[in-house]
Chains A and B, each alone.
Chain A
Amino acid sequence: MPDDHSSPEPKLACIGLNYRTTPVEVRERIAFAEAHLPGALESVRELPGIGEGVVLSTCNRVEIYAAHDLDDPQAGHEALRRYLVDHFQLSPGEAEALVLYHLDHEEAARHLFRVVSGLDSMVLGETEIFGQVKQAYKTAHENGATRRSLNKLFQHAFRVGKRVRNETAIQRGSTSVGSVAVDLAEKVHDLRECRVMLVGAGEMSRTCAQSLMSRGASSVIVSNRSHERAVELAAEMGGQAIRFDEWESRLAEVDVLISSTSAPHFVIKTDAIEAVMKERRWRPLLVIDIAVPRDVEPTVNEVEGVYLYDIDALQAIADEGRRERERQLSLCEQIIEEHLEKFGFVPFSPRPQGDQLPA
Chain B
Amino acid sequence: MEIDRLLLILATLAFAGGLVHAMVAIKAGTWKKSSWHLLPMVTGFILQTAFLYLRGQDVGRCPLTNLFEVLIFICWSIVLLYFLVGSTYRLSLLGVFTAPLVGSIQIIGLVLPIDRAPSSELASRPVNSILELHAAISLIAYAAFALACTTGVMYLLQERLLKKHRIGGLFYQLPPIQGLARAIQRLALLGFVLLSAGLGLSFGLDASASNPKLIFAWLVWGLYALICFFMWRHVLSPRQTAWLAVIGFALPFFSLWIVT
Q: Report which A residues bind B (CB closer than 8 A).
A: 166-169, 172-173, 180, 183-184, 186-190, 281-284, 301, 304-305, 307, 309, 313, 316-317, 320, 324, 328
Q: Which residues of the other chain, A, contact B158 by a CB distance below 8 angstroms?
A: 187
- Assuming the contacts A167-B30, A187-B158, A282-B237, asked whether A307 and B174 have C-beta atoms less than 8 A apart, the reply is no
- Min C-beta distance of B186 to chain A, whole Å: 15
Q: Report chain A residues within 8 Å CB of B177.
A: 187-188, 284
The CA of A166 and the CA of B234, in the complex, are separated in Å by: 42
Q: Are A313 and B165 in contact (CB under 8 A)?
A: yes
B178 contacts A188, C-beta separation under 8 Å: yes
A167 contacts which chain B residues (CB < 8 A)? Answer: 30
- Are B165 and A317 within 8 A (Cβ)? yes
- The answer to whether B163 has its CB under 8 Å from any CB of chain A is yes
Interface residues of B in 220-250 (CB under 8 A from A): 234, 237-239
Find A305's partner among B28, B172, B239 (CB 8 Å cutoff). B239
Report how far A166 CA is from B36 CA in the complex, Å.
Answer: 14
Beyond A184-B167, A328-B29, 10 additional pairs, beta carbon < 8 A:
A166-B32, A169-B28, A172-B169, A173-B172, A184-B162, A187-B177, A188-B177, A284-B178, A305-B237, A320-B167
Q: Whole-angstrom distance from the CB of B112 to the nearest CB of chain A?
A: 40
Are B163 and A301 in contact (CB-based, < 8 A)? yes
A172-B29, A172-B172, A281-B234 known; A317+B179 contact, CB < 8 A:
no
Q: From the candidates A169, A281, A313, name the one contacting B30 in the complex (CB within 8 A).
A: A169
**What are 10 A-B residue pairs whose CB atoms fall within 8 Å in the complex?**
A166-B30, A168-B30, A172-B172, A173-B167, A180-B167, A188-B177, A284-B178, A304-B239, A316-B165, A317-B165
Q: How far is the CA of A169 from the CA of B167 in the complex (A)?
A: 14
Q: In this complex, what residue of B is CB-closest to A280?
A: B234
A305 x B165 contact (CB < 8 A): no
Contact of B178 among A183, A184, A283 (CB under 8 A): A283
Q: Is the CB of A304 within 8 A of B176?
A: no
- Chain B, interface SS category: helix
Q: How many residues of B contact A (CB 8 A)?
A: 22
B171 within 8 A of A: yes
A190 & B28 in contact (Cβ 8 Å cutoff):
no
Collect the chain B residues with CB atoms within 8 Å of residue A324's CB. Answer: 29
- CB-CB contacts below 8 Å: B148-175 with A: 158, 162-163, 165, 167, 169, 171-172, 174
Complex CA–CA separation, A237 to B145 (angstroms):
44
* Known contacts A282-B238, A304-B239; is-contact A190 B179 (Cβ 8 Å): yes
Residues of B close to A301: CB separation below 8 A: 163
Q: A189 touching B30 by the CB < 8 A rule?
A: no
**Least CB distance, B155 to chain A, in whole angstroms:** 11
Instruction: A186 to B181: give the CA distance in the assembly, Å.
Output: 14
| Chain B residues within 8 Å of A320, by CB | 167
- B30 — which chain A residues lie within 8 A by C-beta? 166-169
Beta-carbon contact of A186 and B176 below 8 Å: yes
Contact B176 A183 (CB under 8 A): no
Contact of B165 among A166, A186, A189, A309 (CB under 8 A): A309
Could you say which residues of chain A place their CB within 8 Å of the CB of B239?
A: 304-305
Given known A172-B29, A282-B234, A305-B237, contact A189–B162 (CB-CB < 8 A): no
B34 closest partner in A (C-beta): A166
What residues of chain A lie closer than 8 Å to B171, measured between beta carbons? 187
A320 to B29, CA, bound (A): 14
The 6 lowest CB-CB distance pairs between A and B, nearest first, are: A169-B29, A281-B234, A304-B237, A172-B29, A307-B162, A317-B167
**Distance, CA A21 to CA B177, complexed state (A):** 44
- Per the bound structure, the CA–CA distance linking A169 and B173 in Å amounts to 13
Q: What's the nearest-Cβ distance from chain B to residue A334, in Å? A: 14
Most buried by A among B158, B167, B176, B179: B167
